[in-house]
């Protein structure tokens, strides 16, 4: 007996309706990417392992999905590592490629490889799936789409200002009013680590601090201590755990806290420029907030960092994030190529829009009308109209079989097709069509032009 088919945890099949809704979100994001001057590129689903490994920190490296070498992958395996069952070291000899973890590192590789063809500053967007060997849970998948927009070749902070506006524009058009765009700066985190005498523990410090909303103040302190950060150092950053006030008030407090750190004060100045500019220009429905605990554990951010949270009352993790990386391309040999980018989390955005019932009723994968099939002669008459309607951009179809009327109408009902078009012998004689509203039951007789107008 054949086993029941299944799919991997953390992956999903999508129905026609779900795909239509996802495409609605993607198209909204894409349209605004292009409105803001970003150009599309695509990169392969998998990269050389060396391209990805070591770029996301220790936690990220563990989540990269490795691909076994083709053929007899054990033939070139390191015998010592194989015998000792050291899977970490063995991986390098049996897996030379891996599925991409995000779109940013592949983009950096793209920029370096194509630097002589690119006009800088280069504004690119990319909408493709990524993979992570993560533990599946609500809003967290092993395969999911990212929608990224990045600018490389410019250190101007106006790019950060525009990216905040881009978030605001997209979420406003999706009806997601009340999202919060959180902003911080890695220079500020570096400055804090410097002030408390823990510069050598910067990554441990930021990774722990980033978990404040998940494990609470005590959990963060416990993790910091476990990483070798002293209790005295932690006491010095106690104000960070209850950092309140307006953006300008928070920036003022940071200025006092980081007065002795040159790096930290650079971060304060950058934040002040971005936040003041965004505030003066104004946002439609989003709120900008300075969150000093926002750390994002990725190694490559060097300046501003962003994270977007859903409207209040929606239990969901971040629905977007990004930041400034001053030398990401440097890991591939191209120095002094500053960049900044943001990402939209399509799958989580979908869940939020669905939960808030914000998808327009017009978002559907179904046809607008089903032409009833009365036989070959009538079907040919129907197809002539269908051809013209499709040319006008209207989604219509013919029921393929000359089946019983009840079955054809039942098919339209199950597909939630709103109209049926009657094109029988009587209609052929009068060069007309019967248009039946399958929701109200009302039926009228129309000529082709009125049929087209009714279905548009």
CA pair distance 446, 454, nearest whole angstrom: 9
pLDDT at 232: 84
pLDDT at 297: 53
Q: What count of residues does the chain have?
A: 456
User: For 18-64, what is each residue's pLDDT tens digit?
Assistant: 999 999 999 999 999 999 999 999 999 999 999 999 888 788 889 99
pLDDT at 137: 82
Average model confidence (pLDDT) across the chain: 91
Q: Buried (b) or exposed (e) across 291-323, using 16+ Cβ within 10 A?
A: bbbbbbbbbbbbbbbbbbbbbeebebbbbbbbb
Arithmetic mean of pLDDT, 62-67: 93
Arithmetic mean of pLDDT, 176-186: 96
pLDDT of 353 higher than 90: yes
CA pair distance 243, 188, nearest whole angstrom: 14
Q: Which of 46-60, 306-320, 326-340 has the lowest mean pLDDT?
A: 326-340
Classified as helix, coil or strand, 167 is helix
Q: Which of 294, 310, 285 is nearest to 250 (CA)?
A: 294
pLDDT at 316: 87
Arithmetic mean of pLDDT, 136-157: 90
CA dihedral 217, 234, 54, 292 (to 10 degrees): 60
**Whether 185 contacts 304, CB under 8 Å:** yes
């Amino acid at each position: 007996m054949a086993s029941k088919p299944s799919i991997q945890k953390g992956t999903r099949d999508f129905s026609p309706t779900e795909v239509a809704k996802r495409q609605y979100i993607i198209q909204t994001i894409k349209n605004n990417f292009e409105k803001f001057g970003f150009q599309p590129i695509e990169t392969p689903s998998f990269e050389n392992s060396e391209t990805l490994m070591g770029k996301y920190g220790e936690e990220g490296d563990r989540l990269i999905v490795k691909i076994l070498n083709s053929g007899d992958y054990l033939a070139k395996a390191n015998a010592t590592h194989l015998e000792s069952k050291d899977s970490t070291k063995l991986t390098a000899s049996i897996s030379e490629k891996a599925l991409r973890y995000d779109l940013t590192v592949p983009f950096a590789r793209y920029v370096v490889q194509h630097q002589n063809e690119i006009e800088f500053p280069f504004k690119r967007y990319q909408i493709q799936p990524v993979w992570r060997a993560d533990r599946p849970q609500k809003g967290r998948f092993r395969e999911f789409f990212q929608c990224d927009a990045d600018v490389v070749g410019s250190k101007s902070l106006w790019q950060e200002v525009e990216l905040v506006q881009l978030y605001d524009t997209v979420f406003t058009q999706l009806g997601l009013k009340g999202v919060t765009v959180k902003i911080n700066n890695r220079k500020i985190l570096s400055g804090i680590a410097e002030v408390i005498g823990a510069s050598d523990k910067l990554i441990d410090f930021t990774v722990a601090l980033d978990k404040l909303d998940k494990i609470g103040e005590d959990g963060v302190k416990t993790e910091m201590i476990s990483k070798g950060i002293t209790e005295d150092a932690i006491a010095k950053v106690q104000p960070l755990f209850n950092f309140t006030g307006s953006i300008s008030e928070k920036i003022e407090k940071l200025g006092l806290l980081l007065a002795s750190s040159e790096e930290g004060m650079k971060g304060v100045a950058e934040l002040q420029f971005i936040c003041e500019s965004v505030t003066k220009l104004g946002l439609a429905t989003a709120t900008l907030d300075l969150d000093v605990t926002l750390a994002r554990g990725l190694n490559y951010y060097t300046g501003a960092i962003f994270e977007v949270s859903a409207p209040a009352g929606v239990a969901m993790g971040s629905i977007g994030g990004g930041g400034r990386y001053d030398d990401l391309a440097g890991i591939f040999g191209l120095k002094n190529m500053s960049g900044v980018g943001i990402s939209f989390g399509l799958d989580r955005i979908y869940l939020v829009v669905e939960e808030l019932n914000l998808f327009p009723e017009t978002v559907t994968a179904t046809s607008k009308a089903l032409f009833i099939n009365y036989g070959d002669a009538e079907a040919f008459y129907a197809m002539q109209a269908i051809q013209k309607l499709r040319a006008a951009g209207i989604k219509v179809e013919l029921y393929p079989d000359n089946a019983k009327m009840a079955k054809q109408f039942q098919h339209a009902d199950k597909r939630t097709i709103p109209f049926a078009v009657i094109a029988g012998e009587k209609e052929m004689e009068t060069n007309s069509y019967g248009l039946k509203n399958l929701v109200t039951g009302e039926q009228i007789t129309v000529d082709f032009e009125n049929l087209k107008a009714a279905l548009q």
